[in-house]
Amino acid sequence: MPYEIEFTRAADKAFSSLPKKVRDRIDDALDGLEQDPWPVGHKQLKGSKEALFRIRVGDYRLVYQVEEERLRVVLIRIGHRREVYRNL
């Protein structure tokens, strides 16, 4: 059963400001997250209160949280690898 993808306001704003080529690549990654929220190459972030995960899409990172009981993937942050982990 596929998972529902939900964006936080910050993730939605960051996604819409990206170049079209990057958005297309992230769309493909999101299609994969709908089927499997723990794809090959995912990592759990350490040091956060919640269980946050990240996947790589080129130089960009998608930081997300999985709500298993509701079959939902919540995108917390989308950004360049230099900036995405600040103030998590």
Band the pLDDT of 48: cuts 50, 70, 90.
confident
- How many CA atoms within 13 Å lie on the side-chain side of 75? 26
The amino acid that residue 14 corresponds to is: A
Average pLDDT value for the chain = 94
* Strand ranges inside the chain, DSSP E: 4-7, 43-44, 52-57, 60-67, 72-80
Query: Does residue 1 carry a pLDDT above 90?
Result: no
Q: Rounded to two decimals, what is the model's pTM? A: 0.91
Name the one residue in this structure whose structure tokens are 């600040």: 86
Assign 59 a pLDDT band (cuts: 50, 70, 90).
Answer: very high
Q: Do 62 and 79 meet the contact criterion of CB atoms below 8 Å apart?
A: no
Which residues lie across from 65 on neighbouring strands? 52, 74
Asked if the model's pLDDT at residue 50 lies above 90, the reply is no
List of domains in the chain: 4-80 (3.30.2310.20)
